[in-house]
Amino acid sequence: MTKPSFAFVAADTEEAEAARKSLENRYTTVPLAQADIVVALGGDGLMIESLHATIERGVSIYGMNCGTVGFLMNAYNEDDLPARLARAERVTLHPLRMTAQSVAGDKVDALAINEVSLLRESRQAAWVRISVDGVMRMAELICDGILISTPAGSTAYNLSAHGPIIPIGTQLLALTPISAFRPRRWRGALLPNTARVTFDILNPAKRPVSATADYTELRDVARVEICEDPSVSLHLLFDPEHNLEQRILQEQFQP
C-alpha cells in the first residue's frame, strides 16, 4: 500500500508549534499544496479553519489534539503516523450554505461546517419569522437568536443551546432557538437535510440581528436563507478505534 503524502499545519499556540516542529523533524513531508492529507495540530477551531482552507482541493484532514476540547481531533501521538494515516477512516461532510442580505442591501454567501447562527446585536430581543421550503412555520419567534446545525456541529454551539445531538448519517439538521421568550416552550425542530430554511428579521431597525456561518459574519441582516450544499464535500480522518460516529454516540451519554 502506498503511504499518503502529508503536510502539517498548526494553531498559533506554543503547544501546537512545538508539536509541528517535533513531527517535521521526525517525518518527511511535502509542501501543503501537494499533500494528500493535511495533519492539523490544534483544536476544533483549527480543524474548521483547515477544512475551509482546503475546500477547493478536496483533501482529507487528520487532526491531532493540541487544544482543549478537540472533539473533531484524534489523540496526539507522534508514533507510526504514516501507518495511522493509511488506516484512518474517512468521514465525508456537506456544509451548510448561508445566503444573507443586510438591511442596506449587502449580500454574503458563505459555508458553515458547524452551524449558521443568528444573534441579537442589542439589548432588544430578536423577532424572527421562520419559513421552511417556502412555507411559513412560525410567524414570530422572540429570542436571543436561533441556529441551524449540521450533525458534525450538533455537539458544539447547538448542544450549548440545548439542541439535540444528531448522529452522523441521519440526514438531519437541527433548528435550535437560543433563549426563546415566545413561544417560551418551543425547543426547536429536526429538519431533513434537504430543507431550505429562511429567516426574515422583523423590525430590524429597532431589533438588529447578525448572521454568522462558522466565522463569516454579516451584521444588520434582513433575510437569511440556509440549505445544505451537497455539491461541496469535506473529508475528515479518524482513528478506527475512536471514530466520529462513536464520539457523537458517546456524547449523548455524558452526565
The CATH fold assigned to 96-228 is Tumour Suppressor Smad4 (2.60.200)
| Check whether domain 6-93+233-251 has CATH 3.40.50.10330, yes or no | yes
Mind spelling out the 3-state secondary structure of 77-108? CCCCHHHHHHHCEEEEECCEEEEEEECCCCEE
DSSP string, the chain: -PPPPEEEEE-SSHHHHHHHHHHHHHS----GGG-SEEEEEE-HHHHHHHHHHTTTTT-EEEEEE-SS--TTSBPP--TTHHHHHHHPEEEEE--EEEEEEETTS-EEEEEESSEEEEEE-SSSPEEEEEEETTEEEEEEEEESEEEEE-TTTTTTHHHHTTPPP--TTS-EEEEEEES--BSTT---EEEETT-EEEEEESSTTTS-EEEEETTEEESSEEEEEEEE-TT--EEEEE-GGG-HHHHHHHHTT--
Task: Parse the chain into domains and list their residue ranges.
Answer: 6-93+233-251, 96-228
In tens, the pLDDT along 128-175 reads 999 999 999 999 999 999 999 999 899 899 999 999 999 888 899 999
Catalytically active residues, by annotation: 44
* pLDDT at position 27 over 80: yes
Rounded to 5°, angle at Cα 113 from 244 and 58: 85
- CA-based Rg of the chain, rounded to a whole angstrom? 20
Rounded average pLDDT over 17-45: 94
Report, as an integer, the average pLDDT of 184-207. Answer: 95
Has residue 2 got a pLDDT over 70?
no
Using CB atoms within 10 Å of the CB of residue 240, give its burial: 0 to 12 exposed, 13 to 18 middle, 19+ buried: exposed
Query: Is residue 197's pLDDT more than 80?
Result: yes
